[in-house]
Structure 1
Amino acid sequence: MTVRTSSSSIARIGLISDTHNLVRPEALRYLDGCDAIIHAGDICKPDVLDALARIAPVTAVRGNNDTGDWAASLPTHARLTVQQVTILVVHDLAELGCVPRDEGIRVVVSGHSHKPSIDERDGVLFVNPGSAGPRRFKLPICAGRLVIEGAQVSASFDALLA
């Protein structure tokens, strides 16, 4: 999938994961204005994707809690290109194994752990936006963004609740 952006040369990609059937108004406000949204799995009900699609086009992968007929159509891995940046989306990094270097992957977006993180290894940016769903343990409720301009990419995540 290729994401088309507005006339601006900067693309803003919203990152969300592990909503577990909870669409927080804070998450919708955070994602408002994004050119596209990536959901890294554990959606739990298709209504979540419908709510996100009202904001921007959504790329979503199936998480370990996504079951039933609606979830069967979701891929376990997705790839999209935004400008000159190729993004691989997977719910659980453990399912990925290694990043296919010869395929030009620049960013890997994942979920599953509910723990937000940004880490660059060997030229690949690994981003987990954390969980925007029900609070788990004392982990923050978060979502994230990728900002892409040409071949340049930066990532961030923000707490949605105090």
Structure 2
Amino acid sequence: MRIAVISDTHDVYPPRFPQRLKGADEIWHLGDVCEPSTLVEFQNLDIPMQIVLGNNEAHELWPLELQLERGGLKFFLTHVPPRRIPSDVRVVLHGHTHVPRDETDERGVRWLNPGCITRPNRGAPASWAWLTIEAGKPLRWQIVRV
């Protein structure tokens, strides 16, 4: 399974960017979409999309967090990095900082952030990520520059 992970679009994305996600089995957006109409071109790809609410949305159309299971792994999706996570979660995906992240904590939980596709921060390039899940293989996380 190949998942395109994006965050912090803030109503803007590069021209033709959605077309780069065509090979995805799913799209996960980690918040700060802002206006829901921003996602129309992504939704037209007809790829299942999971979206969490960011801190810049003026609506409550999406949940603050999602717990998903893919390939036998439990994932926790949220916008702002959480202080606490459910004990059975193995991978936390978040946005908010606009900086890519791939770290494993002392409990073995992996923390991932795809960065930001439009307004990178702290010297990080504009980015998004591919998350690849294959049975019997380690999770693969690849940051992709916009």
Which of 78, 98, 113 is the aligned partner of 2:84?
A: 98
Equivalenced residue count is: 143
Per-residue Cα deviation, 1:53-90 (whole angstroms, up to 9, x for no partner):
223111111111111xxx31211101222221221111
1:13 and 2:10 matched: no
What residue number does 1:5 align with? none
CA contact (8 A) 1:85 1:150 kept: no
Structure 1 unpaired stretches of 5+: 1-10
CA drift of 1:159 comes to 0.9
CA drift of 1:36 comes to 0.3
Secondary structure at the residue paired with 2:39?
helix
Amino acid at match of 2:85: V
What residue number does 1:120 align with? 104
CA drift of 1:98 comes to 1.9
1:33 and 2:23 matched: yes
CA drift of 1:136 comes to 4.6
What residue number does 1:6 align with? none
CA RMSD of aligned residues (A): 1.7
Structure 2 unpaired stretches of 5+: none
What residue number does 2:62 align with? 74
What residue number does 1:64 align with? 55
CA contact (8 A) 2:99 2:121 kept: no
Could you state the TM-score of these two structures normalised by the residue count of structure 2? 0.88
Structure 1 runs of 4+ off > 4 angstroms?
A: none
Percent sequence identity over aligned pairs: 30
